[in-house]
Amino acid sequence: MRRGIAIAAALLLLALPWLLHAVLPANQAGFWTGNILGRALVFGIIAMSLTFLATYGGFVSLAQMMIAGVAGYTLAIFVEGAVPRIVGGAGYALAIPLGVLAATLMGLLVGAIAVRTRDIYLLMITLSLSMGVFRFVETNITWFNGYEGIRNVVGPSLWGLDFRNPWVFYHVTLGTAVLLFAGVMYLVRSPFGLVLQGIRDNPRRVAALGYNVALHRIAAFGVAGFIAGCGGVLATIYNIGISPGTIGLGATVNVLIMAVIGGLGHPVGAFLGSFIFTVFDTFAATVYDRDRFNTLIGIVFLVIVLASPDGVLGVGTRLRRLLGRRAADK
Amino acid sequence: MGVRCFNVCLLGKNCVHPAIRLTGVSRRFGALQAVRDVSFDVMPGERRAVLGPNGAGKTTLFNTICGDFPPTAGRIELFGTDITRLKPHQRTRLGIGRTYQTSLLFNGLSVLDNLFIAVRGLRPRRFSFLRPGRDDPGLAQARALAERMRLSHLLGVEVVNLSHGQRRQLEVGMALAGDPRVLMLDEPAAGLSPGDRPELLRLLRELPRTLTLILIEHDMDIALPAADIVTVMKDGEVVVEATPDRIEDDPVVQAIYLGGGH
């Protein structure tokens, strides 16, 4: 039943660009496919790395955007054609795995540094790591080209199709998101995933049962780093490059907002949240005063979180419960 | 002390190690001496109850045996092996299973997952990204434990939705994962409704005699029928050690526990 819903949702998402094309003019259909849906999926992947840690491990990490940035910078540094040329010489087939690998290693490192902290202290330590990397990247010219960042990371061409074509970009991103999502759903039922949830509920008991809590925690951050790295690579290609602003405080908080308004509790919440965020981030300025559109965005998010503390996912659960009660009453 | 002599004579000198031997065990928290110079033997298969008023040091003594707080002085042996300095999970692997006074369960996971984690912790390849197959021995063991604890009909239920009595049963089931030789129960009846108590007592009585049982219990109605020998503690020390039928008549026990203590 649940698998059926998941497959139906995946097929719908697969066909969505054609549906949009049927109802919208060509240029708008392209815009929605690439700049709304594609972008929402990219940031949904990064937000999912946060949701994965928070939902199954109870760790709220503010380092996930920075880790995504590590993947993006690694890609930009090594890939041929990026401006300015830092190292260069590598094709996308090599530079992309290098980026994801670097993000995974950074995830493991963050996990190892934060291994003994919980709750607000974990939040603070991951935030300070993020800001440390941000400042370093912003001021280092030799490796990161400082404030300007690295441009012209155009992405590979796939079987003669330009990656920048919204339809190609959307489907590659959708494929990546679906694979990562399925991977997370597999992982949380594995012994690793069960023990991770055990650590969330009761770390003392997990240790008493003979598990290495630190090892499982660090591995969870490594997995989240891999996910964020995939998102970081796609985000860098989407933006045709990367600059320090990508991993600044604003971007870091945005990822947290996406995860929270979507709902911590299931990885799908990350994608719901990033979609809502992207829509408002794109259209608020045209709906409301250009100088004050952030007020509108803020109010909308406030309303969502006040109406449903567990995000959009919580609304669904509550509706289902309500309908179930109605049905039971009859 | 006559009881211990009886055991030794029955089993023959040195032919069997005690399941648990405590020699001069003490535990100090700063200025507080929680456990003071406790020595006793628990023979294999024995049911031992530890009684005493609040603050007598029962749970601290438990924690020194299970390794949560190693003793500050003294020696602990498990079937003749010195375990004084081992970590809790090392003791678990050597065959000590325990429950906690307040249930330490994984609330967000199902009954089966809780038992599976407990079983899996005792086996090699604990860290794994691969899902267990349908015929995974760990899953089979977890199901068998649920059966034993009469929780088979609740396998898929999240632990947060269990009743208090069911949580205590699951707690015992998790302590039995990996077939421990010594089972330590810290107030298994705490907070149970009168209706749930006979069920728990029946579960305890059904445990095989190959298993050594040590339980802390406030409730005499659970402790006395379940125990072969009762150890009474007060202020961190052992004050009486006797069979259950003698305990109720013991003047010291009556003074500190049954009547005068409160």
In chain A, where the domains are located: 2-249
Answer yes or no: is B128 within a domain.
Answer: yes
Nearest to B106 among A190, A202, A216 (CB): A202
Range of the domain at B172: 105-179
Q: Which of A53-62, A107-116, B51-60 has the lowest mean pLDDT?
A: B51-60
Answer yes or no: is B131 within a domain.
Answer: yes
User: What's the pLDDT at A104?
Assistant: 97
Answer yes or no: is B24 within a domain.
Answer: no
How far apart, in whole angstroms, are the C-alpha atoms of residue B156 and residue B39? Answer: 44
User: What's the pLDDT at B88?
Assistant: 83
User: What's the pLDDT at B9?
Assistant: 43
How far apart, in whole angstroms, are the C-alpha atoms of residue A186 and residue A190? Answer: 7
Residues of A within 8 A of B109 (CB-CB) are 194, 197-198, 201
Confidence of residue A159 (pLDDT cuts 50, 70, 90): confident
Answer yes or no: is B156 within a domain.
Answer: yes
| Burial of residue A220 (number of CB atoms within 10 Å: 0-12, 13-18, 19+) | buried
Per-residue pLDDT of chain B (262 residues; tens, 9 = 90+): 334 444 444 444 455 789 999 998 999 988 888 899 999 899 998 999 998 888 888 889 988 998 888 899 999 999 988 999 888 888 888 888 888 877 789 999 999 999 999 988 877 777 888 888 777 888 888 988 888 888 888 888 999 998 888 888 898 888 888 788 999 998 888 878 888 888 888 888 888 888 999 998 877 777 888 888 999 888 888 888 888 888 878 888 777 765 544 4
Chain A residues with CB within 8 Å of chain B CB: 186-187, 189-192, 194-195, 197-198, 200-202, 204-212, 215-216, 219
Q: In whole angstroms, how far apart are CA A12 and each of A48, A49, A162, A179? A: 20, 24, 24, 16
Mutation target among A190, A192, A194 for the B interface, most CBs of B within 10 A: A194
Residues of B within 8 A of A200 (CB-CB) are 108
What is the reported pTM?
A: 0.85
pLDDT digits (tens, 9 = 90+) for A217-238: 999 999 999 999 999 999 999 9
Nearest to A192 among B100, B107, B128 (CB): B128
Number of compact structural domains in chain B:
1
Are residues A190 and B130, on separate chains, in Cβ contact within 8 Å? yes
Residues of B within 8 A of A211 (CB-CB) are 89, 117, 121, 126-127
User: What's the pLDDT at B258?
Assistant: 55
H or E, element range at B183: strand B182-186
Q: Which is nearest to B71 in space by CA: B46, B94, B51, B91?
A: B91
- The C-alpha angle with vertex B64 and arms to B62 and B69, in degrees rounded to 5, equals 115
Q: H helices within A202-310, ranges in order?
A: 203-208, 213-238, 249-262, 268-287, 293-307
pLDDT at A301 over 50: yes
Answer yes or no: is B221 within a domain.
Answer: no
The 3-state DSSP class for residue B95 equals coil
Residues of A within 8 A of B88 (CB-CB) are 207-208
User: What's the pLDDT at A47?
Assistant: 96
